Structures are given as C-alpha cells and as structure tokens.
C-alpha cells in the first residue's frame, strides 16, 4: 500500500518511535518562527534550566502580534505590556543567538507571511511554531503546525517534539472555480461543510484541479485556515508553481544546491495507491463567495443565502449555539446575508494580506469610494508586501477610496494592539476567526475574502463582490 | 509539570460546543512575560461584566459550582489560538481535569505539558457526568489516574489515556529532560538529515 505525503514527511523526520500503539514519535523539526507573545515563558524556562538553544540558526523571530500599525513606524510601544514583551523578545533573541526582525526591520511582518516570502519554507520540511496558523506552510508541501509555549521550549532545547501521528484526510476539490470566487471561499465552504472539529485528529491533503489551478499565495490561504476545522496540518503536493515561487528568494537554496533540492522536491507527493482515513469532495464550480454569520468559522453561508434558523436545527446543543451566536451577533434568523450593515472593514492577517490579496481587493475597488460611516483599513501582511503594493500604486487606490493604509502586523485579526472593535461594532474582515470578542469585546466579525471585504466597504453592507467585478 | 494521581472535586457543566481559547483567555491577559496572573482572565467575558463585577448567571459564579476542579465540556473545547495561557489560566483557577467528547489538538497537547488531564469520553458517558454536574451539592467526582476511573455517587466510568501521557502526568515529568537523554540519537539523526537534504541546513 502506498504512503500519503503526510506519512512520508513524518517518516523522514522520525528520530525515535516512543509508543507504537499510541502513534507517539520523537519528531525532528527543521525550523521555527517565534513571536513576542507566545515565546517569553519558553525562554524563561530555558534560562531557569540553564539549557542552550539546540540550533539558533533554525529559528527566526518577528514582532507581529502586539505592535501598532500606525502609518509612522516607531520602536516605542504605547502599551506597557507590549513594550515589555518586545523588549524581552529582543533580549531573548540576542542572548540565544536568534535572528530577529523587530518592528523597524525592513523585513518585519506577520510570521506566516514573512517565512515563505524570504524563502525559509521549503518542500519536505517540518516546521512547528507557536501559532496555530503555522499550517499555512502546507502550500509548499511542508508540514507546518502550531504548538504551545511548553513545546516551543521543548523545540528550542532539543530540535524535536513529542508528536502524535495524525490520521490523513483527503479533500478533493475538482472542477474549475467560477470567476470572482477565491481560495478563501474554498476553505470557508469546507469548514462549513465538515464543521469546526471536522478534521480534528487529521492532517488534510488538498488535491484536485481547482487546487492545482491556484497560485501559491491562494493555496496558502487554504492551508492557513485548515486549522479552523481542526486540522493540525494541511498539505498540498509541491509543483512547478511552488518551485517558481521559491527560486531566487533570499533564503532559498541556490545554484547546485537548488538543483539538488528541486530533484528531491519533485518526488514529494502521495503515492497513487495511498489510502486516506477520510475523504471529502468539493466541486469548485458550485462555490460562491462565503461569509460567516456566527461566532464559529463553520457558521457560514453563501452571500446569496439567508441566516439560518436555529428552530430548524434538531440537535439541542447546536441549536443553543446558533441562538447564542445570533444574539451575540445581533442578527435575526432568516435575514438575508446581504442585508447586514457594517461599520468597519479590515483587510489583513496571515490568511489574506499578501500582495495578491491586496491586488484583488484593489481591483474590486477601482475608483470607487467606501460607503459613508464605514471605517476601513488595510494592514499589509509584511513590510515587503507594503513596499510592493506601494510600487504598484495599490496604496493610492485604497487611500483614494477612503481606506487607511497601515504598517504590517497581526493587527485587528486578534486585536492585541490598538486596532480593536468597540462593543457592538460590526466588521467585514479578511481574517480567520469570528470568535466572540476576537476583534474586541462585544465586537462582531464576519469572515470573508479580501475582495468581499472591499465590496462590503463600498456598499456599507455585506454584498457579493462579483457585482463590482462585472461578473454578475 | 504538576503531577496528577487521585483528585476529588466539584464538577461544573459547560455545554456549548467549540469554546475557543479566545473565550477561555481573552487577549488582554496575553501581555505578560511570565505565567502568572491568569486566574482572573479565565472565561473573563463570561465571568465578569464590563465593570468587573461577577456575572451571577455564569455557572462558575454560582454556589455549588464555584471553584470547580473539573469541567464537563462541549465538543471541540479549546479550539482556535495556540495560546497556552488558556491552560495556565484553567490550572491557576484550580481546574485539574476536563471531560469532553473531543479536544482541539494544540490545546490538548498544551494540557498534557502542564498536568491538566483531558479525558475523552463517549457521548453517553459524558451525559452521565453532565447530569451529575447539574446537581449542586451532589456534583462531586473522583478521578483516579492510576486506575483510569471517574467515580460519582452512583457510577464509575473508566477512561483511556496514552500510556506515555499517563506516566508523565503521574510523575509530573519534565519532558525536555527526558528528551535530552536521547541527545546522541537526535544529533545522529540531524547529521544524516543534513547529509541527505543539505538544503535544509
């Protein structure tokens, strides 16, 4: 029987079997990326036990979660907690010999945007990091997964993790995506279909013509959000698009090493006869732009649909959950999704703030202006993305429309900085989580693609972005 | 890591599915550089109103459930962000074990690294504990990790746990110390790994 790509990656990183029956192994980890908010206690632990970092050159630090995104960059953190965390992060990186992109560094950005764009995410690698959206790296045929602070410390001290092998799920997305429907809609449709725990215990491998047709950046959006249906790993076999993306990136291998790597990477795929523990099918042609209405990423509808009625839900726990979500979100069952008015629009996050995302949102905007009463902002995924967008004039399109054009960071995806929703404010957001309070206590988040956020900002309410694209 | 052997305590019910780590430990409590002070942050928006007063309707603020050592929780508890602060907060509040039908992957690992026991049960078994949890005054259970049992006034359930996780919890083991006993094997693996894949260096 053939092997899945996931099992090939685990087997090629297996240092030691710890418990055969429980599928526990000691797994070698190639790299990590660290941020200022999940790493401090890990460094304190190392210091207390007087343990060195096993391989400091295999870690990169980047400040992203707590920094302000105001247009003028400053190393000063207005909030004392953020100041303490960034100062301690700098001290830790310096003392343990880890490279740091601090807030003034030209390559600073959101960790999962920075790592691929500088060429540190390579096919065949295993990367674990203290952030759940590390699954992003699956777009390169690299197993990425999130870990907690104790495991960051374990990684730093040993270059390994005690790891439980997952089951494999194949998500086949065949057919052709209709014009104006994006990879965000693919992953949102999957999460809606299988539920927020639908892939718990699994690593997903995405296959199919609709996946192959996507750009590498669009694929990253899918792998990024796979964690929202519980997957602790999301993979796509690397192809020529991935190799083209990587070639020439500053930290990617070069010359003879590149050629050798390429030969190895071309063999990275699940075997034809590999058997998956679960199979899910999506037909790309059936997909339309998605929006969430509730407080869990699986509470989503097509933009053309109405908000579902909890009374029609048979399961009592689910029914209560739906009602609670409607109450929190201030919505009525049966209300059309397109009738939901917004006060805020946010384009940003490791899910959707890469250059292609900004280009797509800018295409929807054109020369239009955002609706009166909407406060809208664009927070590029990295300082490099910001520079690129400015070279292309995208910043002008956003600013002419009435968007604020910001510096890079995680920003209002999780609102650890000063970009935060007031209680009751409603936001169209290109992010990954619509949890209660995620973007601010009492704040109401609707997840959607960056193009859909742009369209909502123009209309002042949720709307099918294809109206502005001329597709419908 | 805190060791776990036999713990007796109050069990409280939290029915909702998909309780995420943003709800367990909201962002305003994530600005520390140590693990302290997270008790106050636990379920903060559910426990306290905007003036910082306890919300009387929240289960853990009611007599009979206050200071529960065990929570019986809905499906997919701990989903979302990797923040280990959620686990630290639960432990600082005094929670020692969680009973549920499924736990999110990163959260479950974080629990294991800190000595917070996550016990996965079938829906019928969970309903049995859930029923008891709704009876203040009676809602006391004993968890015996060695025997792998949960006992209530009129039931005893057994539960499964990975042997490695069990041993670590029973002894409160330092996982890093254990792994470093295999230092030579890790080094040998790394040497071969870089020889086979020099572009990973």
Q: What is the ipTM of this complex?
A: 0.96
Map out the domains of chain B as residue ranges: 6-173
What is the per-residue pLDDT for B173?
Answer: 83
Q: Which CATH number fits domain A292-469: 3.80.10.10, 3.30.1330.10, 3.30.499.10, 3.30.1540.10?
A: 3.30.499.10
Q: Give the pTM.
A: 0.97
In this prediction, residue B174 has a pLDDT band, given cuts at 50, 70 and 90, of confident
Q: Which of A38, A40, A196 sits opposite B82 (nearest CB)?
A: A38
CB spacing of A151 vs B113 below 8 angstroms:
yes
Mean pLDDT of B100-124: 96
What is the per-residue pLDDT for A471?
Answer: 72
What is the per-residue pLDDT for A472?
Answer: 66
CATH fold label, B6-173? Aconitase; domain 4 (3.20.19)
Residue window 124-153, chain B: list those with CB within 8 Å of chain A. Answer: none
Residue of chain A nearest B86, judged by CA positions:
A148
Counting one residue from chain A and one from chain B, the pairs whose CB atoms sit within 8 A come to 190
In A, which residues are within 8 Å of B20 by CB distance?
Answer: 296, 433, 435
CB spacing of A321 vs B197 below 8 angstroms:
no
Q: Does A44 touch chain B (CB under 8 A)?
A: yes
A362: Cβ–Cβ under 8 A, 6 or more apart, which residues? A394, A397, A398, A454
Residue window 355-394, chain A: list those with CB within 8 Å of chain B. Answer: none
Residue B117 has pLDDT above 80, yes or no: yes
Task: Show the low-confidence residues of chain A (pLDDT under 50).
Answer: none
What is the per-residue pLDDT for A11?
Answer: 97
Map out the domains of chain A as residue ranges: 5-278, 292-469
B2: Cβ–Cβ under 8 A, 6 or more apart, which residues? B91, B114, B115, B172
Q: Which of B84, B162, B182 sits opposite A22 (nearest CB)?
A: B162
CB spacing of A230 vs B84 below 8 angstroms:
no
Given this structure, which CATH class describes domain A5-278? alpha beta
Cα–Cα distance for residue pair A185/A303, rounded to 1 Å: 10
Q: Which H or E run includes B33? A: none
Residue of chain A nearest B36, judged by CA positions:
A41
What is the per-residue pLDDT for A21?
Answer: 87
What is the per-residue pLDDT for B2?
Answer: 85
Q: Does A319 touch chain B (CB under 8 A)?
A: no
In this prediction, residue B17 has a pLDDT band, given cuts at 50, 70 and 90, of very high
What is the per-residue pLDDT for A470?
Answer: 81
Q: Is A292-469 the same fold as A5-278?
A: yes
In B, which residues are within 8 Å of A81 by CB distance?
Answer: 31-32
């Amino acid at each position: 029987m053939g092997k899945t790509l996931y099992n090939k990656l685990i087997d090629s990183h297996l240092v030691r079997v710890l418990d055969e029956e429980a599928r526990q192994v000691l797994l070698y980890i190639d790299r990590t990326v660290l941020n200022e908010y999940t790493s401090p206690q890990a460094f304190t632990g190392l210091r207390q036990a007087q343990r060195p970092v096993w391989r400091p050159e295999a870690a990169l630090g980047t400040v992203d979660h707590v920094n302000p995104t105001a247009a003028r960059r400053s190393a000063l953190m207005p909030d004392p907690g953020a100041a303490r965390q960034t100062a301690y992060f700098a001290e830790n990186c310096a003392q343990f010999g880890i490279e740091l992109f601090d807030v003034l560094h030209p390559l600073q950005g959101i960790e999962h945007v920075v790592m691929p764009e500088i060429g540190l995410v390579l096919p065949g690698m295993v990367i674990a990091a203290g952030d759940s959206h590390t699954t992003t790296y699956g777009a390169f045929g690299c197993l990425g997964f999130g870990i907690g602070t104790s495991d960051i410390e374990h990684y730093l001290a040993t270059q390994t993790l005690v790891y439980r092998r997952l089951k494999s799920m194949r998500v086949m997305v065949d057919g052709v995506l209709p014009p104006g429907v994006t990879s965000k809609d693919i992953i949102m449709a999957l999460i809606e279909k299988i539920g927020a725990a639908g892939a718990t215990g699994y690593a997903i491998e995405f296959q199919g013509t609709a996946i192959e047709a996507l750009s590498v950046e669009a694929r990253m959006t899918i792998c990024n959000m796979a964690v929202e249906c519980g997957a602790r790993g999301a993979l796509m076999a690397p192809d020529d698009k991935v190799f083209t993306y990587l070639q020439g990136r500053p930290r990617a291998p070069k010359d003879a090493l590149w050629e050798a790597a390429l030969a190895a990477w071309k063999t990275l795929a699940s075997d034809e006869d590999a058997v998956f523990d679960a199979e899910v099918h999506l037909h790309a042609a059936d997909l339309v732009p998605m929006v969430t209405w509730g407080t869990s990423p699986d509470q989503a509808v097509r933009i053309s649909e109405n908000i579902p009625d909890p009374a029609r839900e048979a399961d009592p726990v689910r029914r209560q959950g739906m009602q609670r979500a409607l109450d929190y979100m201030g919505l009525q069952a049966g209300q059309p999704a397109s009738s939901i008015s917004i006060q805020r629009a946010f384009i940003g996050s490791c899910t959707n703030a890469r250059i292609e995302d900004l280009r797509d949102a800018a295409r929807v905007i054109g020369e239009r202006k955002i609706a009166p009463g909407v406060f809208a902002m664009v927070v590029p995924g990295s300082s490099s993305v910001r520079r690129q967008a400015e070279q292309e004039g995208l910043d002008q399109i956003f600013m002419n429309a009435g968007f604020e054009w910001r510096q890079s960071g995680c920003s209002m995806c999780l609102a650890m900085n000063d970009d935060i929703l007031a209680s009751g404010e409603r936001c169209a957001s290109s992010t990954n989580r619509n949890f209660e309070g995620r973007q601010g206590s009492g704040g109401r988040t609707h997840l959607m693609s960056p193009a859909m956020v742009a369209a909502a900002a123009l209309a002042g309410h949720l709307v099918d972005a294809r109206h502005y694209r001329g597709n419908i | 890591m805190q060791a776990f052997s036999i713990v007796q305590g109050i069990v409280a019910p939290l029915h909702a599915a998909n309780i995420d780590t943003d709800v367990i430990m909201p962002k305003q409590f994530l600005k520390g550089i140590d693990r302290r002070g997270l008790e106050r942050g636990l379920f903060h928006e559910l426990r306290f109103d905007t003036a910082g007063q306890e919300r009387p309707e929240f289960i853990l603020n009611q007599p009979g459930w206050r200071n529960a050592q065990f929570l019986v929780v809905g499906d997919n508890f701990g989903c979302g962000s990797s923040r280990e602060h959620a686990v630290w907060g639960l432990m600082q509040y005094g929670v020692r074990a969680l009973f549920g039908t499924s736990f999110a992957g990163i959260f479950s690992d974080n629990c294991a690294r800190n000595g917070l026991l996550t016990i996965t049960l079938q829906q019928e078994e969970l309903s049995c504990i859930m029923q008891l949890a709704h009876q203040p005054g009676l809602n006391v259970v004993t968890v015996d990790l060695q025997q792998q049992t949960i006992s209530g006034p009129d039931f005893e359930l057994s539960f499964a746990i990975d042997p490695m996780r069990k041993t670590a919890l029973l002894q409160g083991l330092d996982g890093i110390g254990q792994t470093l006993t295999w230092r030579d094997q890790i080094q040998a693996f790394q040497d071969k790994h870089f020889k086979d894949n020099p572009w990973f260096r």
